Chain A
Amino acid sequence: MSLSLITLFLLSIMVFLGGQVLPGNVGRAILGPFADQRAVDALNHTLGVDRPLLAQYWGWISNFVQGDMGTSYIFRSPVAPFVIDALGNSMKLAAVAFVLVVPIGILGGVVAALNLNRPLDRIISLGGLSVTVLPEFVTGIILILIFGVWLRWLPIAAAWPKGAGFFTQLYYLILPSLPLFLVLFGYIARMARSGMIEALDSDYTRTAVLKGLPWRTVIWRHVLRNALLPTVTVIATQTGYLIGGLVVIETLFRYQGIGSLIFTAARGKDFPMLEAGILTIGIVYAVATLMADFLYSVLNPRIRLGAEQ
């Protein structure tokens, strides 16, 4: 909890340094090298970048908290609507990836653990591990070639016609979500597998088996509930990687999400947009971590009951 707040604070300082201090003279950058010095000074004063650093940081962060994310250098209009739109789109993409990967990843890990050291386990563990280490754009390109270019099953750009319904949007989002799926699958399956192995090896599982419970009940009631606890935490920490991957995936599939917003802003040196995009991602990450902590304590009776006492 407190850790994600420190992360957020650290990120805000980095964003502030990277976006407002290091690039140097903002007015000069906007007006170009031949502009009059007085015009540059005047613009710097209007933008407030001639104030002391601490005052600038405070002004920026307090405005941000109140929903004023600044004005885009490129679009000359408030940043917030762009960020909110893009965030909504990214959430859709991330949701598709998560809805696919969480059950399938857990299932993969459970199946691997139940077939420990047999060929099926080897395939899931090794396969999961090798796709996890590949950059998203590499798996993305290969998937586009297979499903978009050769088989022509799925559209290669995540740009659906205006006013498309839920299922059309879903259809366009399947291919972009697959590279994210592959990266996350390995992590989640590995955690679920090791959690399962530990739980299967425990005394309470042996007791459950020895007192004659059917194998199915042992797995569902005794093993799974304990095995999946650590997996919940992993899923939450993976949101960070998911977000890093979004920049790449959204660029590759030309999808108007927060990742491509950051990418476009970085390309055009649109610092207010870049700062707002990155800080928003940081907040999303902090919220995800918080929710995972909460979920973990709800699922874990030791923590839940401990808090009640």
Chain B
Amino acid sequence: MSAADTPVGMPASSAPDTAQRSPWGEVLHSLARSGTFLTGLFILLFWAICALFGQCFVPYDPLASDIINALAPPAADHWFGTDQLGRDVFSRVIVGSRDILTVAPLATILATIAGTALGLVIGYFRNIVDDVISRVLEAFMAIPVVIIALLAIVALGTSKVTVIVVIGLSFAPIIARTVRSAVLAERELDYVAAAKLRHEGAVHTMFIEILPNVIPPILVETTVRLGYAIFAVATLSFIGFGIQPPSPDWGLSISSNYGMIGGGFWWTVLFDALAIASLVIGVNLVADGVHGAFND
């Protein structure tokens, strides 16, 4: 699952070799040549553009209902047909990328910040701190995210902020684990010893000295987590505990339309399902590419 169990020799910490490119340039160069990464990036950019500007170029208002034309199959005037309220499915699929592409990345950023801080602390202090917190985190990670999220959202009420916080905090332990193993390797190096000899404080050593050198595994883990965050947000929206109506969100649309699937109204759910599938696969391709670029 975790893409970076073993931190690799980070480009940032190794001495520049004979090549002209900087370590980060090397990574960018290998990303630019990775077909996996570019395909994923293309899909991701497509949906990002839809999320940002979709509202401006869709043929219909995604929220405007038109009961007379309800459940019309795909045709020239409605490319993807219309749903049970007569809303244009094509416009809804395009604009539907907006909420999930806000909530999932924010949750991932929260998870990365919280997880990195936690991972630095347990990796740096080791011993009892590491033992206790690591056990608790491992135990926590065994609980399915959907269950945690369901419980928390029912207790706290449904809102985008709750979803972001809940998913962010449930993913934080996974990132913490990755950061911890990177820090454990890093803290034995000379520059950390030098910082200690200079009587730098623990906070300075963790965040100023060690953190810049463990960025690569964090980046890899973050892109992997983004895929899972999209998975989780879509799932929560589908079961009604994520993004709320009247958003044209994909999971939400599927949940309100799949009841009529037996009637053969396939177009009301298929395009949303394919949209989620393409976004999740796109993010995973990007994650795969990033992982490859740092581990070459």
Contacts and interface: CB of A to CB of B under 8 A. Distances in A.
Interface stretch (A33-41, A62-70, A133-141, A160-168): A133-141
A248 B144 contact: no
Given A133-B281, A138-B234, A248 B273 contact: no
A24 to B, nearest CB: 9
A240 B240 CA distance: 21
A3 interface: yes
A249 to B, nearest CB: 11
B242 to A, nearest CB: 11
| Interface residues of chain A: helix, strand, loop or mixed (majority) | helix
Nearest to B264: A149
| Interface residues of chain B: helix, strand, loop or mixed (majority) | helix
Given A138-B273, A138-B276, A3 B135 contact: yes
B248 to A, nearest CB: 17
B142 A138 contact: no
Contacts of B144: 240-241, 243-244
Given A3-B138, A135-B276, A278-B147, 20 more contacts: A9-B139, A22-B155, A129-B284, A133-B231, A133-B281, A133-B284, A136-B235, A137-B251, A141-B273, A142-B273, A149-B266, A150-B266, A237-B142, A243-B144, A244-B147, A247-B147, A251-B238, A263-B150, A263-B239, A278-B151
Interface in B229-271: 231, 234-235, 238-241, 251, 254, 258, 261-262, 264, 266, 269-270
A178 B234 CA distance: 19
Contact of B280 (A133, A149, A150, A263): A133
A23 B261 contact: no
Interface string A1-26: 00110110111001101110011000
Contact of A285 (B142, B145, B151, B251): B142
Interface of B: 135-136, 138-140, 142-148, 150-152, 154-156, 227, 231, 234-235, 238-241, 251, 254, 258, 261-262, 264, 266, 269-270, 273-274, 276-277, 280-281, 284
A226 B235 CA distance: 37
B192 to A, nearest CB: 30
Interface of A: 3-4, 6-7, 9-11, 14-15, 17-19, 22-23, 129-130, 133-138, 141-142, 144-145, 148-150, 156-157, 237, 240-241, 243-245, 247-248, 251-252, 262-263, 266-267, 269, 274, 278, 281-282, 285, 289
18 contacts: A3-B139, A6-B138, A10-B136, A15-B151, A18-B151, A23-B155, A141-B258, A142-B270, A144-B261, A149-B262, A156-B262, A240-B143, A244-B146, A251-B238, A262-B150, A266-B150, A266-B241, A274-B154
Contact of B154 (A7, A150, A244, A269): A269
A141 B254 contact: yes
Contact of A243 (B147, B241, B276, B280): B147
A248 B254 contact: no
Contacts of B142: 3-4, 7, 237, 240, 285, 289
A145 B272 CA distance: 13
Contacts of A23: 154-155
- Among B138, B140, B146, B264, max chain A CB count under 10 A is at B146
